Amino acid sequence: MPQPKLYRLLERLDGRELPWLDKFLASPFFSSSPWPQSLWECLRDAHPRYEALRKEEVFGRLCPGQPFDSKFLNDRYSELSRLVESFFFQQAFRREESLQRRARRAAYRRRGLYPLFSKECHRQASYLLGQPYRSPGNLAEALEIFDAHYIHPESKSHADEGAETSQVMEQLDLHFVLLKLKYACDQLARRLSFNEPLDERFLEAVLEEAPHLEERHPAIGLYYRLARLFIEGCPDESFQQTKRLFYDLGELLPAAEQSFVLAKFVALAYMRFNRNQERGLGEVYELFQYGEKHRLFIFDGVISDATFLNVCTIAAQTGDFDWARQFIQKNEAFLPEAAKPDAVILGRATVSFAQEDYSGAYHQLNEVYKKQSAYKLRVRSLYVRCLLGMHLAELRHEAPLHSALEAFGQYIRRHPNLSKGRK
């Protein structure tokens, strides 16, 4: 049975936000009905494991002594869902400066406060264009500000505003090249894994534009060199030079930009790993250490479970077991809630296997639910290798090893669409 939308929303609440939601629902400014607050009081203690609650149980708490009414309860769920969404919007507004800037401009404009609107437009545009790293988003917002101010009926300085708008347009041209380079790098990286078709005309056009502009923006030269690495097969000297450029730019790039570049370097390092495993393994591990040091794997408070397991695997293969365990301990809280138990156990089992603790890894793997197809493949493969290690050590696991091999072979045959890399 599908999980109610309300539960999916409530699961994403940070524990520290629960008191804020209590106050939000208690405020008559947001709702005059007592039902949303009463329903929340019935659900609150289950946070974040709402899926364990039965609707009959919830209804019994909400309306004690009354016969179960599915429609009434569903209506209350919908009512609370709308309020939780409003709470999310309020929280986003509190945390995101760009939303606050737009709201200020809109408030002044709609209430006819042109002098305040004009002053706010100039202040915000100066702030955006004065940033050390002017992202495409910042420049697009600055253009939006100039445009809104320029076309306002009370604006008296169209000539000056037009000049400023032209200046922003020139900057946008520069950053559109940067965006196109980023998408080109992403296309080239995805082609390594998924064999996706490449838009050759798009790639040719952006590579022709980039060399003329790289001196005007710190990241254009970096993305241009990254794209060339994918195209030219990642020669060693160019790879090392481009990696040094990335490290030199460092925190000048925003965290999201650093994460994007790091992911492309990891794709290139894996490509080199497939050619020369001993050298390539160290390069992948170095990049993962850089990402962990600068906390580049966490987006909006979440680390991808695939990235988490890849880092665990590479760290274990290099023999840096203490670092791998520290990584698991520091990052398990940031895993998606649904993936957390299995990903943590599988990560620990991977480290145990690399330490030749085959029995320990084997018993850990029995705790993994194997719900996701990627986990099934990882678990079955590691399961077979654990049994092989145990058998070679004691020569008494032949039957379970044979059964595991047969089951693994059947799994591979049942999934002919698995990529060659996974097989």
Distance CA 292, CA 325 (A): 13
Q: Structure pTM?
A: 0.71
Instruction: Tell me, yes or no, whether 51 and 109 share the same domain.
Output: no
- pLDDT of residue 331 exceeding 60, the answer is yes
Q: Angle between the 340-354 and 321-331 helix axes, to the nearest 10 degrees?
A: 170
- In this prediction, residue 58 carries a pLDDT of 93
As a whole number of angstroms, the distance between CA 151 and CA 311 comes to 52
Q: Which amino acid is at 131?
A: Q
pLDDT at 276 exceeding the cut of 60:
yes
pLDDT tens digits for range 337-396: 778 888 999 999 999 999 999 888 888 888 776 555 667 778 888 888 888 888 788 877
Q: pLDDT (tens digit, 9 = 90+) per residue, 72-105?
A: 999 999 999 999 999 999 999 998 999 999 999 9
Q: Which of 60, 77, 95 is the last residue of a domain?
A: 95
d(CA 361, CA 358): 5
**Is the Cβ–Cβ distance between 325 and 359 less than 8 Å?**
no
Q: Mind listing the pLDDT tens digit for each residue in 218-273?
A: 788 899 999 999 999 999 999 999 999 999 988 788 888 899 999 999 999 999 98
Residues 109 and 91 in one domain: no
In a domain, 63, yes or no: yes
- Residue-averaged pLDDT of the chain: 86
Taking residues 108-126, report their average pLDDT: 91
101 and 88 in a common domain: no
What is the C-alpha to C-alpha distance for residues 8 and 12, in angstroms, rounded to an integer?
A: 7
Considering 274, 306, 326, which residue would you say is the last residue of a domain? 274
Whether residues 262 and 184 fall in one domain: yes
Q: How many residues make up the chain in this entry?
A: 423
Which residue matches tokens 């910042």?
138
Residue 58 lies in a domain: yes
pLDDT tens-digit series, residues 139-190: 788 888 887 887 777 766 555 555 666 766 777 777 788 888 988 898 898 8
* Residue 305 belongs to a domain: no
Q: Residues 200, 203, 206, CA angle at the centre, nearest 5°?
A: 150
Q: Please, are residues 178 and 220 in contact by the beta-carbon 8 Å criterion?
A: yes
Residue 418 predicted with pLDDT over 80: no
Q: Residues 76, 112: one domain?
A: no
Tell me the mean pLDDT in the region 106-125: 92
Q: Which residues pair with 96 in a beta bridge?
A: none
Residue 415 within a domain: no
What are the residues facing 298 on neighbouring strands?
303
- Going by C-alpha positions, the residue among 116, 102, 175 that lies closest to residue 144 is 102
In a domain, 185, yes or no: yes
Whether 149 and 210 share a structural domain: no
Measured distance CA(394)–CA(121) in Å, rounded: 75
Alpha carbon of residue 144 to chain centroid: 27
Residues 6+ apart with CB under 8 A from 126: none
Could you tell me if 200 and 270 lie in one domain?
A: yes
Number of domains in the chain: 3
Same domain as 28, residue 88: yes
Confidence check: pLDDT of 294 > 90: yes
Structural domain boundaries, residue 90: 5-95
Residues 106 and 91 placed together within one structural domain of the fold = no
44 and 12, same structural domain?
yes
Structural domain includes residue 139: yes
Residues 6+ apart with CB under 8 A from 294: 251, 255, 258
Q: Is residue 107 part of a domain?
A: yes
Which of 274, 303, 322 is a domain's end point? 274
Same domain (yes/no): 197, 255: yes
Residue 299 is assigned to a structural domain of this protein: no
**3-class SS shares of the chain: helix, strand, coil, % to 5:** 75, 0, 20
pLDDT for the residue numbered 161: 55
The reply to whether 90 and 101 lie within a common domain is no
**Within a 13 Å sphere around the CA of 310, how many CA atoms are in the beta-carbon half?**
19
